Amino acid sequence: MTSVWLIGALGVVLLLAVWAVLAAVRARSDTRRRLAEATRETAELREALERLTERASEAPPGSAGELAASLDLDEVAERTLEASAAIPGADASFLEATTHQGEVIRRAIGMSPEEAHRTAVTLGENDNLRAVELSYRYRLDEVGENGPGIHTGIAVPLRAEGLSVGMLAVFSRARGTLGDEQLEELERLALRAGPAIENARRFLEARALADLDALTGLHNRRYFHETLSREVGRAHRYDRRLALVLFDLDDFKAINDQIGHLSGDSVLAEVASRMMSVVRSADVACRVGGDEFGVVLPESAGPDAEMLAERIAHAIRVKPIGKAGTLNISAGVAELREGDDSVELFERADAALYRAKELGKARTVAADGTASV
């Protein structure tokens, strides 16, 4: 009887061991797959950016292709508006486009934003739609028959690769000045503007993704330093406060050696997720490199940065992370001082981080010397 029980127990142990091995292999395979996909997507984005940049540099100045090759959406919109407003009989023009993120941009020339809003038109989803002709009539006691208001307009869809990307319209403050000739010229312009807008939209999307760290989804090191430099300049210019948090995981090298680099990457991704759960929408969270992270805090003082560092530390240690177990962080914070540039601010926060390590880790140290455990 005892032998049967022992054989059964050994069988259960073997099954559990096999299950654990299969689970580990599956997790490692899934992690490797995600890393491969992230690497491939990053390479594809880099190639797309290079192709778009080359195309823009090859366009002759002043040519029709220059509009289509521009990579700046605001510049494309401005050039398109200027060209459409130059159509004989047109007194104003209006452009509307949607970014890949769903943000609607509206630009006008020759009319105020309020007037553009009052005269705006929406084109329905109709692949066969060529144009919409507009006629505006006003109460005579409000606007005279020949008053300064918009009286006529023509709107055409902006398309690229068969899909709608926006709308372009011209307006006149006189009656009978916009006809077939103006429509044909507006359509010719729209044929160039549609692909130009789509080109700029794709570039913006690629740039946005290129600013992200593929592993964690946070902003990357390059974006971090660009943002820090920009925010430092803005804070000095407008006499505003700015703070910075730098932190890394305590003993992460030992954790990597113990559980392997692929599992270590999963730990970093989870740390990033927990950090994002506590930062404000105005804060800029980045992976600075390796297991080091940074958060730029606009309109914030040193104590605000210390409180954020403590919230991040709590979010990370409150629950074990996979095979790495319970993790702690060391953090350094600094507030912008008069005369600081972005390098000096970063170096002071970095020195505070190293001071936290020297004091025993698992704590936050401010650049002015204060520390909290």
Interval 169-182: pLDDT, tens? 999 988 878 889 99
Between residues 138 and 321, which one has the greater pLDDT?
A: 321
Q: How far apart are CA 303 and CA 362, in angstroms?
A: 18
Q: How far apart are CA 294 and CA 288, in angstroms?
A: 6
Between residues 59 and 246, which one has the greater pLDDT?
A: 246
pLDDT number for residue 24:
40
Between residues 10 and 114, which one has the greater pLDDT?
A: 114
In the chain, domain spans: 64-202, 221-372
pLDDT number for residue 12:
42
pLDDT number for residue 37:
46
How far CA 13 is from CA of 8, 21, 25, 30, 324, in Å, comes to 9, 12, 18, 25, 24
Ranges 53-62, 190-199, 254-263: which has the least confidence = 53-62
pLDDT number for residue 127:
76
What integer is the mean pLDDT of 87-105? 85
Q: How far apart are CA 369 and CA 126, in angstroms?
A: 65
What integer is the mean pLDDT of 354-366? 95
pLDDT number for residue 32:
44
What integer is the mean pLDDT of 88-110? 86
Q: How confident is the model at residue 285 (pLDDT cuts 50, 70, 90)?
A: very high
**Pick from 201, 186, 286, 183: nearest CA to 244:** 286
Positions marked active-site? 291
pTM above threshold 0.85: no
pLDDT number for residue 347:
95
pLDDT of 67 above 70: no
Pairing of strands 364-366, 329-335: parallel
pLDDT of 350 above 50: yes
pLDDT of 45 above 50: no
Phi, psi of 289 (to 5 degrees): 160, 140
Q: How far apart are CA 324 and CA 67, in angstroms?
A: 53
pLDDT of 38 above 60: no
What integer is the mean pLDDT of 133-146? 68
CATH 2.40.420.20 fits 64-202, yes or no: no
Q: How confident is the model at residue 31 (pLDDT cuts 50, 70, 90)?
A: very low
pLDDT number for residue 112:
85
Between residues 30 and 329, which one has the greater pLDDT?
A: 329
pLDDT number for residue 128:
79
Q: How confident is the model at residue 293 (pLDDT cuts 50, 70, 90)?
A: very high
Residue 243 carries which DSSP code? E
Computed over every residue of the chain, the mean pLDDT equals: 81
What integer is the mean pLDDT of 290-307? 96
What integer is the mean pLDDT of 122-134? 81
Ranges 136-140, 243-247, 253-257: which has the least confidence = 136-140
H helix or E strand, kind and range, residue 164: strand 163-172
CATH annotation of 221-372:
3.30.70.270
Q: How far apart are CA 244 and CA 227, in angstroms?
A: 11
pLDDT of 187 above 80: yes
Between residues 299 and 21, which one has the greater pLDDT?
A: 299
Amino acid symbol at 49: L
pLDDT of 163 above 80: yes
pLDDT of 44 above 80: no
pLDDT of 355 above 70: yes
Asked whether 322 and 263 are in contact (CB, 8 A), the reply is: yes
**Facing residues of 155 across strands?**
132, 169
Phi, psi of 287 (to 5 degrees): -100, 110
Task: Return the SS3 of 372.
Answer: strand
Ranges 44-53, 249-258, 265-274: which has the least confidence = 44-53
pLDDT of 20 above 70: no
Same CATH fold, 221-372 and 64-202?
no
Q: How far apart are CA 295 and CA 50, in angstroms?
A: 29
Q: How confident is the model at residue 204 (pLDDT cuts 50, 70, 90)?
A: confident
